[in-house]
Chain A
Amino acid sequence: MKILVCPLNGARPVSEFAYGGEVRRSPNPDTCSDAEWSAYVFNRSGSPGVKFEWWCHIASGFWFIAERDTARDLVIATHPAETARRLATATGDGS
């Protein structure tokens, strides 16, 4: 069984969590072009790599951010949303 460490609830089976997709920066919908908006709505970074992702512990409804290597199936770290926003901004991965 795969285990994910929730910043609030500790180590739990991954089946207790929902995956919320990569942490991404939204363009301003009032000022961006149609092309920029459709790229944001639909396009994804499909290649493997280390990504910052939203995850939710379903039972407690707690959202947090996992730093995960999608090539090696390895969770590098999990962060409360506030910490991770700072990290993601620092590495240019959006917030």
Chain B
Amino acid sequence: MFTRHESLKSSYDVVIIGAGGHGLAAAYYLARDHGIHDVAVLEKGYIGGGNTGRNTTIIRSNYLTPEGVQFYDESVRLWQDLSSDFDLNLFYSTRGHFTLAHTDAAMRTMRWRAAVNKHFGVRSEAVDAAFVKRALPMIDMECGGHAPIQGALFHEPGAIARHDAVAWGYGRGADRRGVEIHQQTEVTGIRVAGGRVTGVETTRGSIATPRVLCAVAGYTPRILDMLDLHTPIYIHPLQAMVSEPVKPWLDPIIVSGSLHVYVSQTARGELVMGASLDPYELHQTRSTLDFAEGLSAHMLELFPFLSEVKVNRQWAGLSDMTPDFAPIMGTTPVEGFFLDAGWGTWGFKATPVCGKTMSHTVATGRNHPLIEGFTMNRFAEYRLTGEKGAASVGH
């Protein structure tokens, strides 16, 4: 599926660190839309082996801030024709997305989000309990008696897709356009002279390059340390798990912030489930029994009939969190060094639009208008982009 390159060249126009969805999408659009083909994508592991292959594959644009809604809406638009773009079936499946509200306060946030969404032309509605029950006859509306469902935010375009195919599709498309993807190649240093990037040191030799894009999610602080750049990014693990396949019964995607659950059913019949972040900093992807127990208990409050269904697998990824739950993207104080980070628990859905906007930013040296609200200097200016209210579960 990919060309194998025996050795690195001595120089490239652009070096991208990280062959996940974001890095490969940026490489793809650099080659396809900006005519920049002399690109190396360096990956210390394997293609899509990080958070691209560890998320719960949910795609939505029902965010809270104008910056977020417009950005993710563009992403949802780009998702629509990716399968034909790649000639690879992403199993993109529009399901509808319910964010359940269990309190009056949560209903108020749902109305707020619906109003902001509609203002920007995104299809979201605050719906009442009867609507939820009609769409989900199998749900326990009382949630075991202590968290009765008051209503929900219903977001019609909510979708799921096969996540690793996204990395393969972008990777193959980039590869065919001359981009070199080097797996098992770890970046060990970044060379800077006079405030601008001049090259990259790797475990397979040195490369000269004027432009570096960093798209490494949970490993971002380690790369930024090489440049003495400081950000608010902190790393917590996020766990997920999947059940054995069962007959199709759950069409929409269900999220409950109060119960710390999000769940959808794949085309194979498995239930893909996630919860909130692990509660403290850790740079390991080992999963825990506490997580599986806690999430199962909450799943049974929503769907008691699942009590005999078995959990097949569980895993974790490293989330690069920010204080305002918005990403950190664009130019940095080091000229030629571009950042696509702070993707925490919300990065998969943004893969196409990140590729689009970051390739524009790298090609022109100026931030794409859609990412102006996400720049690194917003913290120093006390100008945060508060997106926590649109996170799928309380963190």
Contact = CB atoms under 8 A, between A and B. Distances in A.
Nearest to A39: B230
A70 B281 contact: yes
Interface in A1-50: 1-2, 15, 18-19, 34-35, 38-39, 41-48
A45 B221 contact: yes
A71 interface: yes
A38 B288 contact: no
B235 A46 contact: yes
Interface string A55-95: 00000000000000011110000000000000000000000
A18 B290 contact: no
By secondary structure, the B interface counts as: loop
Contacts of A53: 280-281
A44 B290 contact: no
Contacts of B381: 38
Contacts of A1: 289-290
B369 to A, nearest CB: 24
A18 B279 contact: yes
A44 B233 contact: yes
B380 interface: yes
A19 B280 contact: yes
A15 B290 contact: yes
A18 B220 CA distance: 25
Nearest to B384: A42
B379 interface: yes
B306 interface: no
A47 B234 CA distance: 8
Contacts of A15: 290
B219 to A, nearest CB: 9
Contact of B232 (A2, A42, A70): A42
B31 to A, nearest CB: 31
B220 A73 contact: no
A72 B284 CA distance: 7
Interface of B: 220-222, 224-225, 230-235, 279-284, 286, 288-290, 320, 323, 379-382
17 contacts: A18-B279, A35-B380, A38-B379, A38-B382, A39-B380, A41-B379, A43-B231, A45-B221, A46-B231, A46-B320, A47-B222, A47-B225, A48-B235, A51-B281, A70-B281, A70-B282, A70-B283
Task: Kindly list the 4 A-B residue pairs having the minimum CB-CB distance in the complex, ordered from nearest.
Answer: A46-B221, A19-B280, A48-B283, A42-B232
Interface of A: 1-2, 15, 18-19, 34-35, 38-39, 41-48, 51, 53, 70-73
